[in-house]
Structure 1
Amino acid sequence: MANIGVQLMMVKNEIGDQGIYPVLERIAELGYRSVEVSQVATDEANIAGLERAKNELGVEVAAMSVGLKKGSTNTGDALDVDFDRVVDNCRRLDCRFTRIGMMPFDAMVSKDAVVAFAEQAEEAAQRLAAEGITLAYHNHHVDFAKHDGETLFDIVRRVSPTLHFEIDVHWVQRGGRNPVDVLREFAGQVELVHLKDYRVATMPESSLGLLEAGDFAGFMAEFANLVQFAEVGQGTIDFGAVIPQALESGAEYLLVEQDQLYGRDPFDCLADSMAHVKSLGY
């Protein structure tokens, strides 16, 4: 049975304004059964709210976000300084998965840098595995760039055999691959999947003003960047094929995420995504 959840990054502002438990109540009312904690503080108030939602609403914690090292671009929990707290929070919340949301930017620029990141990830994955916790790595489009004919994704997978993966189908498609094919290739290593649609927006009328002003470069910049993050079912990804393959490949949690909402209320976006998932029979 598919466990459909929410990536809490989508409602981080609402959590900041209302507190986490009222937000989790609304998520549960929409039919979601799990959450992934990301860009939300793991302070006592939020951990207690997650624990209460697990016990009273039946909302599971699918995964906790972590970094390998604390730094300027990773201000949340990091395994080099917060390892014991991460493990304690996972045990308290009955959470079996942690996930790295992105490799550091400086790890993307060379093959040696990717390998070094993957070696660190392998060490962290082994350390967490000894505590009964699986570490997963979440992809973006850049993971399908190549160094010496090998994608960043393949390098990480080769160098870090203990690491599992969180496949984000939008970023797979933006990276030029078919999400169904990638989910099939990662069978047995992909317990977490991000459901996020891929929409090509219409040209804004304002772009014509750039042409009239002779700003062809500005016009082409807008023309080349029409891809949007979309509610599930509002774009071009075939979730009728994606979800069955995700489940066949071993996915336990299918997590709805939308990086940008384009002025919409996040709960309206989540309601639309859930309606499409339900229309497919899940």
Structure 2
Amino acid sequence: MATIGVQMMMLREQVEQTGPHEVLRRLSDLGFDTVEVSQIPMTADAVTQMRRAADELGTVFGALSAGLGPGPNDSLVDDADKVVADARALGCTRVRIGMMPLPAFTSHEALVAASRQAEQAARRLADEGISLSYHNHHVEFARRDGTTLLDTIRAEAPSLTLEVDVHWVQRGGRDPVRTLGQLTGDVDLVHLKDYRVAVPTEQLLADVASGGPGGFMRAFTDLVQFAEVGEGSLDWPEVVPAALAAGAQHLFIEQDVQYGRDPYDCLRTSRENLVAMGFGHLL
């Protein structure tokens, strides 16, 4: 049965302050049992604490994160054995790539090369009983010679499944529900992240006044925000069923920026809204 959990990236500061076990305990108290781990150093101590949370709290590690080069997560190119070992230690059968290295987007040839690296990594992990997914942002919906970058990635790395981030789909100019439908059968993971448009403030007026040429557009564009699930403009009673119909096994709440709110409070709001919408059975 599919589950709704939490992407721990939004709690990386809390992990640094208290350690992962305490963060996972607080998530358990909030009613979250499943997590995805990203941008949290997978030190031996961190993995031990996570394993203890699995044993003591029943925490399920739905997915771990890795990259194709240097970055905030271990590399599938340089640290593949460690990624596999960490996944086995935590009883996790899914790994996801958060984004291609930025240079990969600069040319078709660079994207093809990176995608083929991802394909090799996916095949290597599959031999270990671990699936590899790719997480989109908005840039993958850019077109080059009539083809989206996401289509290129999928063509060159057919062994990858997808982690669809519906906020970034919306920001990329696509409809999340329709996009999930188009990707049915390739979707394994989904990020539940709302898309809020903030109202203009006095600060925006000041930014416009001091911004010089182009200041208005920069400030006006910055009205787009990340939001707690149910506090933005995405149609969640349509999005969540579309994600399930597309094949998602884990749906992770994520809010990249909390704009001064405590992230635990943000997660509480998202959970309450999802329960009110009738999705409590997935939590």
TM-score by length of 2: 0.95
Report whether the alignment pairs 1:127 with 2:121: no
Shift in Å, 1:225 = 2.2
Match of 2:55 in 1: 55
Match of 1:108 in 2: 105
Match of 1:151 in 2: 148
Report whether the alignment pairs 1:280 with 2:241: no
Report whether the alignment pairs 1:29 with 2:58: no
| Aligned partner letter, 2:147 | E
**Which runs of structure 2 are paired with 1:1-282 in the superposition (5 Å)?**
1-69=1-69, 71=70, 74-209=71-206, 215=212, 217-282=214-279
Percent identical? 50
8 Å CA contact retained: 1:210, 1:216? no
8 Å CA contact retained: 2:209, 2:215? no
8 Å CA contact retained: 1:3, 1:33? no
Give the CA RMSD over aligned residues: 1.4
Where does structure 1 lack aligned partners over 5 or more consecutive residues? none
Shift in Å, 1:216 = 5.3
Measured against aligned partners, the alpha-carbon deviations of 1:127-147 in whole angstroms (never above 9, x if no partner) come to 111111001100000000011
Closer, same or farther: CA 259–211 of 1 in aligned 2, 3 Å: closer
Shift in Å, 1:220 = 2.6
Q: 1:24 and 1:137 mapped to 2: Cα distance? A: 25
TM-score by length of 1: 0.95
Closer, same or farther: CA 51–223 of 1 in aligned 2, 3 Å: same
Q: 1:178 and 1:44 mapped to 2: Cα distance? A: 41
Runs of 4+ in 1 over 2 A off after TM superposition: 206-217
Where does structure 2 lack aligned partners over 5 or more consecutive residues? none
| Aligned partner letter, 1:41 | P
Moved more, 266-275 or 29-38: 29-38
8 Å CA contact retained: 1:170, 1:198? yes
Measured against aligned partners, the alpha-carbon deviations of 1:34-91 in whole angstroms (never above 9, x if no partner) come to 111111111122111211211221210011110122x2xx143111221111111111
Query: How many residue pairs were aligned?
Result: 279
* Secondary structure at the counterpart of residue 116 of structure 1: helix
| Aligned partner letter, 2:67 | G
